[in-house]
Amino acid sequence: MQKTIIFDLDGTLIDSADGIVEAFNYAMTQNGLQRQPAAEIVKLIGYPLDYMFGKYTNSNPKLLKSYFRARAVQTVVKSTNPLDGATETVASLFESGYKLGIATTKIRSHIDGILNKLGWEKYFCQVIGGDEVTNIKPDPEQFSSLMALMKADPENTVIVGDTINDILPAKRLSVRSVAVKSPYGDSKEVMNLNPDFFIEEISHLPRTINKMFENEN
């Protein structure tokens, strides 16, 4: 049976924090609100924009998101870099025969731009962005929709991410999960959800995945 791995992007495989922070504070100032420290914003990366802005204001969420997206077109893809070991990890899993997908709150145009920039298009057979579903993470819709596209069954699927927005839907879908230590903040919330495995860095993933499936081949 084909084994499937679904990845989050930010904090799991990539770092696009500088571009997100710039777009976030652009939206805040354009709406007459105070800029926020980068160190605080990065702790929210991986969460929906409504949640991120809601930490600071309840005013004009649609307007804030429109300003963010207008600026993010210029900043997010440009600022993106792979986390240490991410390219090697993705390539190794692909070459080992795993089917790879991406579920992220990023919009599809940013996903495509990032995959093109990093030369990762060949590794991922399906991706799904936050603008392609009605309910984004931590709702399980993104993952269930992606699994349907990939013809993946729960028993042979693993979800990999750095926040509760990845581990919580994995639990709801009865899919195994691997939590990666986030470069953006405390992993305590993630650990409280009891993922199947917790790894300190993404380069440990191939060994962990092989261990998960070693008795099932």
Average pLDDT by stretches of 10, the chain with 217 residues: 94 96 96 95 91 92 94 96 98 96 95 97 97 94 97 96 96 97 88 95 96 74
pLDDT of residue 153: 94
Nearest to residue 50, comparing CAs of 128, 102, 105?
A: 105
Whether domain 4-15+81-213 has CATH 3.40.50.1000: yes
pLDDT of residue 47: 87
Instruction: HSE, CB side, 13 Å, CA atoms: give it for residue 159.
Output: 31
As a whole number of angstroms, the distance between CA 69 and CA 62 comes to 11
Euclidean distance between the first and the last CA atom of the chain, given in angstroms as a whole number: 9
- Return all residues near 62 (Cβ < 8 A) that are at least 6 apart: none
As a whole number of angstroms, the distance between CA 105 and CA 103 comes to 7
User: Do 41 and 21 meet the contact criterion of CB atoms below 8 Å apart?
Assistant: yes
Q: In what order do the strands lie in the sheet with 124-128?
A: 124-128, 99-103, 4-7, 157-161, 176-180, 197-199
Kindly list the domain boundaries of the chain, sorted by start residue. Answer: 4-15+81-213, 17-79
* pTM, rounded to two decimals: 0.93
Instruction: HSE, CB side, 13 Å, CA atoms: give it for residue 188.
Output: 2
**CB-count exposure of residue 110 (10 Å: 0-12, 13-18, 19+):** buried
Q: By three-state DSSP, how is residue 144 classified?
A: helix
CATH architecture of 17-79: Orthogonal Bundle (1.10)
**CA distances from residue 201 to 3, 14, 57, 64 in whole angstroms, order as listed:** 21, 12, 34, 33
As a whole number of angstroms, the distance between CA 27 and CA 141 comes to 28
